[in-house]
Amino acid sequence: MSTPSSHCWRHIGVYGGDHSCPRLIEEIHCRNCAVFSLAARGLQKREVDPLPPLSSALQSTELLASRSVLGFRLGREWLGLSCERVIEVAQSRLPRRVAHRGAGRLEGLVAVRGELHLCVALIEVLQLGSRADLAGERSRLVLLESPNAAPIAFRANEVSGLRRIDTASIQEVPATLPTAIARCLSGVTTFEHGRMALLDDSALLAALEQALYS
């Protein structure tokens, strides 16, 4: 009886061997033979060699110091939002206006997957433009999670998708930015579309909630 490691199929078997194996009379071909299949299974149960040096690169701490953000544009400004807060990015649709609330920043009601949500004119809250500017083929509706409360949506001119931002590249909020937006930011960075202002989650949510009351 040959052991799997002796590769009998190559010596006395069919795969380049001399066909002298006695089991061939019964099995006709090595692939029908139990020794062969056992050897194959043995392959799957081998000890794995330690991974090559590439894995050590993956363990490097650089990768941990980064954030995943959703990049979107309001007016001419690109902004970044922690992706954990984002529930969905949907087709933009005109919100249903609510009676007596036209003067504030509440745009109205929108429907997303069978649920109705409040939509806030974030572009106006951050003073980056007016809601009339939010038209266009590329405009999208972003639905955000609100802790201990129902989600809130806002419309954006464009959503460029998820980006991984290296923490080291984040810089301080420039003093030149107006307060309305600066107080919601945690920093600025750059990406392929230019400057991206990174939003501070809690400040943003507070601003959105505030807009609901006014």
List residues near another protein by CB under 8 A: 95-102, 106, 108-111, 113-118, 149-150, 209, 212-213
Dihedrals phi, psi of 192, to nearest 5 degrees: -65, -20
Dihedrals phi, psi of 120, to nearest 5 degrees: -110, 145
Which of 115, 166 has the CB closer to another protein?
115
Nearest distance from C-beta of residue 119 to another protein, angstroms: 10
Which of 74, 211 has the CB closer to another protein?
211
With tokens 């071909």, the residue in question is 29
Which of 84, 115 has the CB closer to another protein?
115
Cα-based distances in Å from 81 to 69, 94, 163, 168, 198: 5, 23, 10, 17, 6
Spell 54-86 as b/e; 16+ CB within 10 A means b.
eeeeeeeeeeeeebebbbbbbbebbbbbbeebb
Token representation of residue 173: 């909020």
Nearest distance from C-beta of residue 124 to another protein, angstroms: 17
Nearest distance from C-beta of residue 36 to another protein, angstroms: 47
Which of 24, 90 has the CB closer to another protein?
90
Nearest distance from C-beta of residue 91 to another protein, angstroms: 11
